[in-house]
Amino acid sequence: MPRRKRAAESAHRCNWCRGRQPSNTVRYSEKLLEASGISVETLDLSEVLGRIGRMKDNDEHAVRKLQAIQKYVSTSGVPQPALLKMAKLGRSWKIG
């Protein structure tokens, strides 16, 4: 029976891990949107996480987003740091 690769063994072979630029991937739906005159801007997840890390916990947009989350759904039992991260994520992905 062939040995199965573990995720750790496979990860070192990816281009990103070797310091190469990842290839651009475009989903067909993005091409359809662009054909209709809607511009699509790609955003790397590391950029979003970097923005979240730089945001202050008392950022007015994050606080408003957190309030909106708490108004929409019960957040009892959810750790405050996780809620704050969700609120920051809700704001940080927006361009501009």
What are the extents of the domains in the chain? Answer: 7-92
Q: How does residue 96 score in pLDDT terms, banded at 50, 70 and 90?
A: very low
What is each CA distance from 8 to 5, 12, 43, 59, in whole angstroms?
8, 7, 26, 37
Q: Which has the higher per-residue pLDDT, 13 or 46? A: 46
Q: How does residue 81 score in pLDDT terms, banded at 50, 70 and 90?
A: very high
Query: Cα(55)–Cα(29) distance, rounded to whole angstroms?
Result: 32
Report the range of poorest mean pLDDT among 20-24, 26-30, 66-70. 20-24
| Count of other CB atoms within 10 angstroms of residue 44 | 9
Residue 15 has pLDDT above 70, yes or no: no
**Residue 74, H or E segment:** none
Q: Characterize 51-63 residue by residue with b for buried, 16 or more Cβ atoms within 10 angstroms of its Cβ, and e for exposed.
A: bbeebeeebeebb
Q: What is the pTM of this model?
A: 0.54
